[in-house]
Every structure is written in structure tokens, then in C-alpha cells.
Amino acid sequence: MKKTVYNKLVRDKIPSIIEGSGKQAVTATLPDEQYIERLNQKLLEEVHEFLQSGSVEELADIGEVMHAIMAYKGISLEEFQRVRRAKLAERGGFQERILLVEVVEAE
């Protein structure tokens, strides 16, 4: 019997997909403190995968993890967008591709 250990947070339907392929998925439900820790790890994993591939699928995975984090923290999509738009209005976006090289203070 071959066993592969993952110990990582997966999307909700993954165990059913595994079972549908004739394999057995051994799962556990995480308590709150471990869940948010694993969500944070998953966010880093998905960002790394996006940086490697540049694919829209990995970008969508980042968005899905962000939605899960917002739900866990009780942040609505409307609140998130309000904060995002306020920061955009106050500080701008990244469309102008500005690289801040240095800041020189007068002595």
C-alpha cells in the first residue's frame, strides 16, 4: 500500500475528488488557530506558485485563499473593496510602474 503524506490545507472538494479516483483520503478538521495559520501558509504557497508560473489559475488560487481569510476574519468583500478603493484614492495604484530609488533628506 503506497501512502503519500501532504499535511496541507486543500480545497473543500479535494477529498471527494481523491475518493472518486479510487483512493482513500485521510483528513482532519482544523481548529481556529491552526486554520488561520494554514491559510497564511497557503497564501504564501499560492503566491510562490504564481511567481513561478504566472498563470491566471494560480492568481485565482490566491484570490480564493484571500476570500477564505476574509471570511475567517469577518471581513466582507464590500469592506475589502472599500478599503482597497480608499488606499487607491489616497496613495494610488501601481499602473505607473514607479520605482522609488532613494529619498534624500536635506541636512
Q: Is residue 7 part of a domain?
A: no
CA 25 to chain CA centroid, Å, is: 23
Q: What is the pTM of this model?
A: 0.88
pLDDT at position 78, please? 97
Q: Are the CB atoms for 76 and 70 separated by under 8 Å?
A: yes
Q: How far is CA 88 from CA 43, 47, 77, 82, 101, in A?
A: 23, 22, 16, 10, 21
Amino acid at 65: V
Q: Is residue 38 part of a domain?
A: yes
Cell 482513500, located at residue: 24
Structural domain count, the chain? 1
Q: Is residue 56 part of a domain?
A: yes
Q: What is the spatial distance between Cα 34 and Cα 67, in angstroms, rounded to a whole number?
A: 17
Burial of 65 (0-12, 13-18, 19+ CB in 10 A): buried
Q: Is residue 91 part of a domain?
A: no
Per-residue pLDDT of the chain (107 residues; tens, 9 = 90+): 899 999 999 999 999 999 999 999 999 999 999 999 999 999 999 999 999 999 999 999 999 999 999 999 999 999 999 999 999 999 999 999 999 999 999 98
Query: What domain range is 57 assigned to?
Result: 29-78
